[in-house]
Chain A
């Protein structure tokens, strides 16, 4: 078990370009979360998957953002037509939730996006 893996670690892009991030959760974890963290703030929830189903999206997730989790394993987060305000750290977390068990989320190291 290597923990939650995120790639790339850093991404620099020009405004208007599309970017895609990948998250590989801890194997057998059935839930996967995406959060965004800006400087000096705590992470904010973006979206969440239970297996391959996307069950909740935050109001923070504009139409330019899309996330997928095909086959319930890794997930991708795509941002289209990036804006400078999208510059942030994008964090992925995964958890295994079963009856009677609490939801403990384990985080990856994040992808830092800089939009020039």
Chain B
């Protein structure tokens, strides 16, 4: 079965430091990959996506992610974290269901805390 693993439940970084959030997926083919961010009490906001092409994708708020097929990974990075980046981050994969339709499978999330 398809799955998404975010090995880090909680990460704390200092403001201005660099950030990398890990995501690994288990899927037979190259999936569509997404990173979403969720602030407390809010829905999910799309940060970036990868469908095909250049394996380094740029997103909003200065985030980027790199798709590495050999490692089945899609790690999220930011060179300098801001206090407003504190939130929960979810990696997600489009999976194709029996009917051929598609839904998102999410990882369990990584909570980012930013220290002043």
Contact = CB atoms under 8 A, between A and B. Distances in A.
Contacts of A43: 44, 90, 104, 106
Interface residues of B, number: 26
Contacts of B108: 40-42
Contact of A102 (B32, B42, B44, B99): B32
B103 A41 contact: no
Interface string A1-12: 000101000000
Contacts, number: 60
A107 B43 contact: yes
Contacts of B102: 103
Interface stretch (A14-22, A44-52, A65-73, A74-82): A44-52
Nearest to A42: B106
Interface residue range, chain A: 20 to 34
Nearest to A41: B108
Contact of B99 (A55, A105, A112): A55
Interface of A: 4, 6, 33, 35, 40-45, 48, 50, 55-56, 91, 93, 102-110, 112
